């Protein structure tokens, strides 16, 4: 069953902070000034494949300044044209999806799914809305991004298996969304759950756990969020 609240899945995520981020946490002091998060949007593009539900994933170049070598959903920061739109985050999601995959979406078809902010210790930070969208009939997704080694469709469970095996690297937002997608059997089921979904912001804290660092996530509250 797909959770109706964007925070319900967080307790199932691995708590361990990767080594590069742990090094940043070690060097962080209370006097440090966090970078201002850049507004961004990402789109979880889904389709019903021959063997089950699939989502389109990008494999980023190792030379990227942010999320190098990570497997991610299409997306990016808001630009000036997006900011002038009545709904800048959905405008950015539509534009980024078109630029990176060639798929043209209607802003009205983007369902708010999650909202994450990069931890304060990171020198590059994003304030990202994640939207769910079904692949429109008759359209095909391609790898058009200049920031990727490759891109393609994958079943969420298969992507999570590669992450668990260490062959794919992902950030917590990607993992959490894939866990939810793996609980669904069809795109229609996801879309139905998305209409009543409550979304709250996730700003992970990095806390020391013995000699290592762990993520600490917020718990679901009674407050509502963007739908």
Question: In three state form, how does the secondary structure of the chain look?
Answer: CCCCECCCCHHHCCCECCHHHHHHHHHCCCCCCCCCCEEEEEEEEEEEECCEEEEEEEEECCCCCCCCCEEECCEEECCHHHHCCCCHHHHHHHHHHHHHHCCCCCHHHCEEEEEEECCCCCCCCEEEEEEEEECCCCCCCCCCCCCEEEEEEECHHHHHHHHHHCCCECCHHHHHHHHHHHCCCCHHHHHHHHHCCECCEECCEEEEECCEEEEECCCCCCCCCCC
Give residue 226's pLDDT: 37
User: What is the Cα 154 distance to its own chain's centre?
Assistant: 15
Q: Say which CATH superfamily domain 10-27+39-216 falls into.
A: Nucleoside Triphosphate Pyrophosphohydrolase (3.90.79.10)
Give residue 64's pLDDT: 67
Give residue 3's pLDDT: 79
Taking alpha carbons only, the member of 123, 157, 174, 137 closest to residue 20 is 123
Q: Which pLDDT tens digits describe the chain residue by residue (227 residues)?
A: 787 888 999 998 989 998 989 999 999 988 899 999 999 999 999 999 999 999 999 998 767 667 667 899 999 999 999 999 999 999 999 999 999 999 999 999 999 999 999 999 999 999 999 999 999 999 999 998 887 788 999 999 999 999 999 999 999 999 999 999 999 999 999 999 998 899 999 999 999 998 899 999 998 764 444 33
**Domain ranges in the chain?**
10-27+39-216
Give residue 135's pLDDT: 98
Give residue 227's pLDDT: 33
Burial of 221 (0-12, 13-18, 19+ CB in 10 A): exposed
């Amino acid at each position: 069953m797909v959770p109706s609240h964007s925070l319900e899945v967080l307790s199932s995520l691995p708590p361990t902070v990767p080594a590069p981020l742990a090094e940043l946490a070690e060097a962080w002091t209370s006097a440090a000034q966090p970078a201002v998060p850049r507004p961004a949007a990402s789109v979880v593009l889904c389709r019903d494949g021959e063997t089950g539900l699939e989502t389109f994933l990008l494999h980023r170049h190792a030379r990227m300044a942010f999320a190098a070598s990570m497997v991610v959903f299409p997306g990016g920061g808001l630009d000036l044209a997006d900011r002038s739109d009545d709904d800048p985050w959905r405008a950015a999601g539509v534009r980024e999806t078109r630029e990176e995959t060639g798929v043209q979406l209607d802003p009205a078809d983007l369902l708010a799914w999650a909202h994450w902010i990069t931890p304060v210790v990171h020198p590059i930070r994003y304030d990202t809305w994640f939207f769910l969208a079904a692949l429109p009939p008759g359209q095909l997704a391609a790898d058009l991004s200049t920031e990727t080694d490759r891109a393609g469709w994958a079943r969420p469970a298969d992507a999570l298996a590669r992450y668990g095996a260490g062959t794919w690297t992902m950030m917590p937002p990607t993992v959490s969304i894939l866990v939810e997608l793996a609980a669904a059997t069809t795109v229609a089921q996801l879309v139905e759950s998305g209409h009543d979904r409550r979304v709250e912001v996730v700003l992970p804290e990095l806390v020391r756990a013995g000699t290592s660092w762990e993520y600490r996530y917020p718990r679901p509250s009674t407050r509502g969020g963007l739908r």
